[in-house]
């Protein structure tokens, strides 16, 4: 097992380049299954969730070559299995995208139920509702979902809740279904638009991605393509919070400013200066940070995946801030760890009250999920003294070489190996990714 050791108190300065978006890549890689020819996927982040996707595709028979420079050549024509191995699938939250891709291509799929995770319940009823709307039947047994369909026919799908995963899965399954599918109450995140653009670059016919109504006309064949994954808006937002927490001055490259709008607006209210360019932003702080009220919401609202990071920043701001988590039942797991560092946070249901103390003290802490881990890094960078963060496998699921990027900005952060604790309850190979 590894841990991060951070000596806090150093300003972040210089330039950093953002990697490809995790939540786009974990949808696009399974989507290659739908193609009848090899595809080249660029700007793929080097993170463990991607490594698991690549491993699953290889185990199913795809021929995959890493071409360097975050680029893969994937030939799906050798795939002979419609089953995603249980042990591999349960490690990754987003393995459910293999359901939609395999169903869409082979009209059958067998994938493990995605594991629960520290965010609370992660139901997939809306995914299954979408598949059944297209003509599929499913059974659940031994922790596995089996999907079959004699034929996939376009239909109207109305989601009871705005769901990123089910919206992407419905697009995957409907791409080759006969006729017109209309998805209503669709999620609008940038990674949904990215998946639709990828599928269309292979010859799919998807319109309206990024709005709440997506129309898909099924096609019979999908050709190969070369496609570049969009930059990760959450990695960019995480670095924005880290720069602000250290009162730094950094240019963040390879971003789409439009994707950062809700984050930028909140950061500016807190006292962070942000200058926008075509594909980069300049972030700096030269005065006090002030309180803010944050309510997470589906895109274009403030992203839940930035909630823990901005909460950490607000512990350093003057005044009392309020955070309302509207997406997940349990996304304040990081609060206990921040309290160990001197934060004054009170949680009541989906609301957290943050008394800005203006300072944090280094302490030994543990990451409980991907974004909680990112929040603890930000806290460690700003804290006085040494912070040691354990269970960093969570962080490495979604951040491409975080410590290297931070060191290049002047942070004092090292990754240190620690002997595996035999009775450790957190075995990285078993934790479900978020």
Q: CA torsion, points 243, 304, 432, 41, in degrees to nearest 10?
A: -70
Smallest distance from the beta carbon of 234 to ligand EPZ, in angstroms? 6
Closest CA to 431 of 48, 12, 9: 48
Smallest distance from the beta carbon of 76 to ligand EPZ, in angstroms? 21
Q: Which of residues 284-343 bind ligand EPZ (CB under 6 A)?
A: 304-305, 327-328
- Site for ligand EPZ contains 163 (CB under 6 A): yes
In the complex with ligand EPZ, which residue's Cβ is closer, 118 or 271? 118
What is d(CA 72, CA 30) in angstroms, rounded to the nearest whole number? 13
In the complex with ligand EPZ, which residue's Cβ is closer, 300 or 385? 300
Beta pairing partners, 7: 386, 412
Smallest distance from the beta carbon of 187 to ligand EPZ, in angstroms? 6
Bridge-based pairing of strands 319-324 and 351-356 is antiparallel
Tokens for 47, please give them. Answer: 């993170």
Closest CA to 105 of 192, 26, 31: 31
The answer to whether 412 and 348 have CB atoms below 8 angstroms apart is no
For the chain, what is the largest distance between any 2 Cα atoms, rounded to a whole number of angstroms? 63
Angle between the 97-106 and 125-133 helix axes, to the nearest 10 degrees?
10
- Site for ligand EPZ contains 434 (CB under 6 A): yes
Half-sphere exposure of 204 (CA within 13 A, CB side): 32
Is the previous residue joined to 268 through a cis bond, with omega within 30 degrees of 0? no
Q: For residue 247, how many other CB atoms are within 10 A of its CB? A: 18
Smallest distance from the beta carbon of 337 to ligand EPZ, in angstroms? 16
In the complex with ligand EPZ, which residue's Cβ is closer, 162 or 360? 162
Catalytic residue numbers read 117
What is d(CA 57, CA 116) in angstroms, rounded to the nearest whole number? 23
- Site for ligand EPZ contains 398 (CB under 6 A): yes
Residue 181: Cβ-neighbour burial (10 angstroms; 0-12, 13-18, 19+):
buried
Of 161, 207, 353, 418, the residue at the interface with ligand EPZ (CB under 6 A) is: 161
Q: Which of residues 223-282 bind ligand EPZ (CB under 6 A)?
A: none
In the complex with ligand EPZ, which residue's Cβ is closer, 275 or 329? 329
Of 50, 89, 164, 352, the residue at the interface with ligand EPZ (CB under 6 A) is: 164
Query: Total residues contacting ligand EPZ (rule CB under 6 A)?
Result: 26
In the complex with ligand EPZ, which residue's Cβ is closer, 57 or 327? 327
Give the phi and the psi of residue 256 in degrees, each rounded to 5.
Answer: -110, 100
Of 21, 25, 26, 406, the residue at the interface with ligand EPZ (CB under 6 A) is: 26
- Site for ligand EPZ contains 23 (CB under 6 A): yes
Smallest distance from the beta carbon of 13 to ligand EPZ, in angstroms? 27
Of 93, 366, 394, 405, the residue at the interface with ligand EPZ (CB under 6 A) is: 93
- Site for ligand EPZ contains 124 (CB under 6 A): yes
Smallest distance from the beta carbon of 393 to ligand EPZ, in angstroms? 14
User: Which residues would be at the binding site for ligand EPZ (CB under 6 A)?
Assistant: 22-23, 26, 93-94, 121-127, 161, 163-166, 187, 304-305, 327-328, 370-371, 398, 434
């Amino acid at each position: 097992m590894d841990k991060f050791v951070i000596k806090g108190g150093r300003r972040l300065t210089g330039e950093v380049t953002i990697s490809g978006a995790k939540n786009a890549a974990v949808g696009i890689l399974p989507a290659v299954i739908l193609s009848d020819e090899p595809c080249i996927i660029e700007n793929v982040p080097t993170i463990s969730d991607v490594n698991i996707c690549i491993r699953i595709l290889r185990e199913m028979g795809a021929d995959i070559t890493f071409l360097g420079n975050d680029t893969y050549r994937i030939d799906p024509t050798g795939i002979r299995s419609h089953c995603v191995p249980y042990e591999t699938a349960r490690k990754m939250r987003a393995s459910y995208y293999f359901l939609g891709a395999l169903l869409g291509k082979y009209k059958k799929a067998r994938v493990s139920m995605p594991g629960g995770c520290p965010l609370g319940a992660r139901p997939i009823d809306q995914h299954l509702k979408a598949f059944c709307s297209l003509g599929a039947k499913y059974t659940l047994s031994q922790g596995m979902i089996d999907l079959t369909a004699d034929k996939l026919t376009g239909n109207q799908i109305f989601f009871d809740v705005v769901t990123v995963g089910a919206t992407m899965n419905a697009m995957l399954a409907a791409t080759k279904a006969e006729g017109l599918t209309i998805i209503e109450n669709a999620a609008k995140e940038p990674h949904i638009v990215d998946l639709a653009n990828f599928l269309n670059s292979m010859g799919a016919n998807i319109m309206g991605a990024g709005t709440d109504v997506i129309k898909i006309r099924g096609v019979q064949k999908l050709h190969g393509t070369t496609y570049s994954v969009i930059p990760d808006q959450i990695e960019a937002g995480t670095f924005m919070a880290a720069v602000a927490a250290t009162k730094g001055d950094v240019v963040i490259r390879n971003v789409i400013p439009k994707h950062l709008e809700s984050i930028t607006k909140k950061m500016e209210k807190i006292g962070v200066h942000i200058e926008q360019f075509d594909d980069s932003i300049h972030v700096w702080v030269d005065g006090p940070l002030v309180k803010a009220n944050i309510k997470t919401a589906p895109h274009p609202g403030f992203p839940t995946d930035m909630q823990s990071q901005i909460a950490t920043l607000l512990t350093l701001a003057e005044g009392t801030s309020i955070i309302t988590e509207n997406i997940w039942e349990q996304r304040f797991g990081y609060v206990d760890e921040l309290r160990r560092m001197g934060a004054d946070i009170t949680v009541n249901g989906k609301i957290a009250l943050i008394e800005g103390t203006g300072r944090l003290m280094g302490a030994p802490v543990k990451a409980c999920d991907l974004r909680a881990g990112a929040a603890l890094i930000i806290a460690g960078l700003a804290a006085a003294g040494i912070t040691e963060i354990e269970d960093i496998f969570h962080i490495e699921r979604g951040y491409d070489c975080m410590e290297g990027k931070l060191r290049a900005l002047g942070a004092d952060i090292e990754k240190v190996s620690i002997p595996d604790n035999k009775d450790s309850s957190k075995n990285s190979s078993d934790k479900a990714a978020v």
